């Protein structure tokens, strides 16, 4: 790795001039040419670390997501990456596993690595954005909001829950259960509230046990669905508040010998890679990628110096 000094020596100028050439400052055409030639000859790439130390900032943004194996989040990540790439930024992907400890560690890393900004799907309400915020690094919350006054991009989750539940109603189902995510995670909580609202409005019965809190993965949905099917009066239809629980629930239905195209299953999110989706499955498509591009755009605006008060953008999900 050639340094700026070697380039300067070869080009017969000072290091400062070399720096100026690459940072768009006033340098005479001849010296400019000399520097570029020397740089090319030495295959010079500026040392990002040194630059970062001096500039106290970098062209890297951190993206903290809870589960890299969830297609919803990878689609979101793609959106972030596409947008960042365009702007010449790199994205560092971090897996928090919905563990506040891991999340905190990554936030500290982001701070001590002088990252330009952070996009975060908060694992918990207590996500400590204090450290990173006090650094002046912008933060955008995505998918879920936080108590901190930062930009946020989310989905109208309650509307999504309402749409999904209503679709089940319209298909003729009445005894509709809900498999919700862990308590305290805003996004699925809101979807569950949508379900409850529809159920209440329509005066549908919500027997004890028709609401299940499961972990976010396929196995959680699977177990919850098994439980539901084992009830004395099992539901005719079920809403799961995220994609992977939907996968698990569908499997449980099939394994129980119930015809999945008769049973009413609604999922907020998409059943990933499920082209074979039984027609009866209702899916509310979440704009995952769009969530990512929007968040990235907002973050880049902040990085660019935009100082307006925090905004929250709410995207709408649509029935697929």
Partner DNA sequence: GAAGTCCAAGAAATCGATTTCGTCAAGGTC
Partner DNA sequence: GACCTTGACGAAATCGATTTCTTGGACTTC
Q: What are phi and psi of 187, to 5 degrees?
A: -60, -50
As a whole number of angstroms, the distance between CA 6 and CA 14 comes to 10
As a whole number of angstroms, the distance between CA 278 and CA 255 comes to 14
Stretch of 54-62, 173-181, 228-236, 286-294 lying at the interface with DNA (CB under 7 A): 54-62
As a whole number of angstroms, the distance between CA 198 and CA 123 comes to 28
**Shortest Å, Cβ 320 to a second copy:** 16
Select the residue interacting with a second copy from 211, 274, 280, 320 (CB under 8 A).
Answer: 274
Which partner in DNA, a second copy, none is near 31 (CB below 5 to 8 A by kind)?
Answer: DNA
Select the residue interacting with a second copy from 24, 26, 30, 45 (CB under 8 A).
Answer: 45
Residue 16 is a binding residue for DNA (CB under 7 A): yes
Which partner in DNA, a second copy, none is near 30 (CB below 5 to 8 A by kind)?
Answer: DNA
**Shortest Å, Cβ 35 to a second copy:** 18
Q: Which is nearer to DNA, 47 or 201 (CB)?
A: 47
Residue 48 is a binding residue for a second copy (CB under 8 A): yes
Sign of CA dihedral 105, 106, 107, 110: positive
Residue 52 is a binding residue for a second copy (CB under 8 A): yes
**Shortest Å, Cβ 33 to a second copy:** 23
DSSP label at 150? -
Stretch of 29-37, 76-84, 157-165, 305-313 lying at the interface with a second copy (CB under 8 A): 76-84
Q: Quick one: tokens of 37?
A: 């030639």
DSSP label at 184? T
Q: Which is nearer to a second copy, 28 or 108 (CB)?
A: 108
Q: Quick one: tokens of 199?
A: 């159920």
Select the residue interacting with a second copy from 28, 49, 200, 261 (CB under 8 A).
Answer: 49
Size of the site for a second copy (CB under 8 A): 47
Residue 215 is a binding residue for DNA (CB under 7 A): no
Residue 120 is a binding residue for a second copy (CB under 8 A): no
Sign of CA dihedral 119, 153, 79, 159: positive
**Shortest Å, Cβ 54 to a second copy:** 9
CA distances 134 to 108, 111, 219, Å, are 12, 10, 39
Element at 57 (helix H, strand E): none
98's CB contacts (< 8 A; 6+ apart) are: 66, 67, 123, 124, 182, 185, 216
Select the residue interacting with a second copy from 14, 124, 215, 251 (CB under 8 A).
Answer: 251
**Shortest Å, Cβ 14 to DNA:** 3
**Shortest Å, Cβ 302 to DNA:** 19
Q: Which is nearer to DNA, 53 or 230 (CB)?
A: 53
Beta-strand pair 151-155/117-120 = unpaired
Per-residue buried b or exposed e for 273-301, using 16+ beta carbons within 10 Å of the residue's own CB: eeeebbebbbbbebbbbebbbbbbbbbbb
The number of beta carbons lying within 10 Å of the beta carbon of residue 312 is: 11
Select the residue interacting with a second copy from 15, 100, 209, 272 (CB under 8 A).
Answer: 272
Which residue ranges make up the site for a second copy (CB under 8 A)? 1, 43, 45-50, 52-53, 58, 68-69, 71, 74-75, 77-78, 81, 90, 92-95, 106, 108-109, 111-114, 131, 135, 218, 244, 247-248, 250-251, 254, 260, 271-276
């Amino acid at each position: 790795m050639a340094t700026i000094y070697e380039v300067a020596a070869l080009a017969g100028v000072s290091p400062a001039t070399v720096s100026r050439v690459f940072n768009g400052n006033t340098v005479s055409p001849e010296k400019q040419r000399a520097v570029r030639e020397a740089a090319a000859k030495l295959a010079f790439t500026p040392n990002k670390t040194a630059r970062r130390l001096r500039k106290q900032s970098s062209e890297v943004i951190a993206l903290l997501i809870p589960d890299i194996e969830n297609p919803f989040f990878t689609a979101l990540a793609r959106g972030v990456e596409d947008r960042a790439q365009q702007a010449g930024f790199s994205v560092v992907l971090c897996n928090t596993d919905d563990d506040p400890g891991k999340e905190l560690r990554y936030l500290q890393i982001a701070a001590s690595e002088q990252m330009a900004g952070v996009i975060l799907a908060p694992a918990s309400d207590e996500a400590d954005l204090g450290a990173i915020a006090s650094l002046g690094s912008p933060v955008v919350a995505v998918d879920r909001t936080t108590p901190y006054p930062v930009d946020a991009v989310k989905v109208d989750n309650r509307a999504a829950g309402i749409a999904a539940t209503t679709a089940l109603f319209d298909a003729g189902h009445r005894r509709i259960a809900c498999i919700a995510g862990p308590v305290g995670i805003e996004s699925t909580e809101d979807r569950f509230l949508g379900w409850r609202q529809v159920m209440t409005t329509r005066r549908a019965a919500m027997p004890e046990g028709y609401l299940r809190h499961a972990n976010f993965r396929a196995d959680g949905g699977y177990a919850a669905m098994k439980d539901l099917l084992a009830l004395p009066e099992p539901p005719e239809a079920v809403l799961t508040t995220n994609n992977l629980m939907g996968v698990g629930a569908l499997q449980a239905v099939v394994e129980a010998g119930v015809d999945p195209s008769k049973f009413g299953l609604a999922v907020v999110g998409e059943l990933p890679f499920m082209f074979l989706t039984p027609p009866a499955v209702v899916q509310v498509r979440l704009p995952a990628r769009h969530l990512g591009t929007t968040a990235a755009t907002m973050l880049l605006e902040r990085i660019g110096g935009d100082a307006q008060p925090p905004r929250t953008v709410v995207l709408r999900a649509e029935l697929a």
